[in-house]
Structure formats: structure tokens, C-alpha cells
Amino acid sequence: MKIVWSDEALSDLRAIHDFIARDSELYASQMVERLIFRIEQISAMPTRGHPVHEFPKLGLRETHQDSYRLIYAFTAKELKVVTVIHMKQILRRRRLRG
């Protein structure tokens, strides 16, 4: 399955990296690697993620890695990462345009 990262999701990864890197470049890189690896794992079985409870009618799903929610949509051939958000953040619909 092809994995596509939206501009929003790529921006999220950069922001996560930059925030953690203020304390540790090593931990920042490791976190981003874990997030990417989690998406690679879920692409093999995308139905394992659960529906995004805030917006159930959008058909989006999510999986978790550490304290982050990875929100995605998928078809038979493609998994699109829409956004990556910390669990303590409020998910706003505008983030889901990806």
C-alpha cells in the first residue's frame, strides 16, 4: 500500500521534531522515526485503527504512538496521513482538510 503524507501531517512531524529537539535532538529524531514506523505498520492492516470519535462521519481512522494520534484515511491502494496531533490537543476540523 502506498503511504501519502499530507502537507499538514508533514508540518506536524516537523513541529514535533522541533519541539522535542529543544531538549534533545536524539529523542526528537527517534520520536519522528517511531511515528513514521507506526504508519508503515498500520498500512499493512489499516482497519486496525479505530474511527476518529470527534468526526465519525468523515470516515477517518486513527492509531496511536506514544502520546500522539496519527489520523489517516485509506483506500485499497493508498493510506493518506491527514494529521498528527498530541493527545492533549483538541482536534479541530480544519486540521483534517489534508
What one-character DSSP code corresponds to residue 95?
Answer: G
Please tell me the pTM assigned to this model: 0.93
Determine the Cα–Cα distance for residues 82 and 61; give it in Å rounded to an integer. Answer: 10
Q: In this predicted model, what pLDDT tens digit does every residue of 59-78 receive, in sequence order? A: 999 999 999 999 999 999 99
Q: In this predicted model, what pLDDT tens digit does every residue of 24-64 receive, in sequence order? A: 999 999 999 999 999 999 999 999 999 999 999 999 999 99
Domains and CATH numbers, the chain: 2-91 (3.30.2310.20)
Is the Cα torsion angle 73, 77, 78, 79 positive or negative in sign? positive
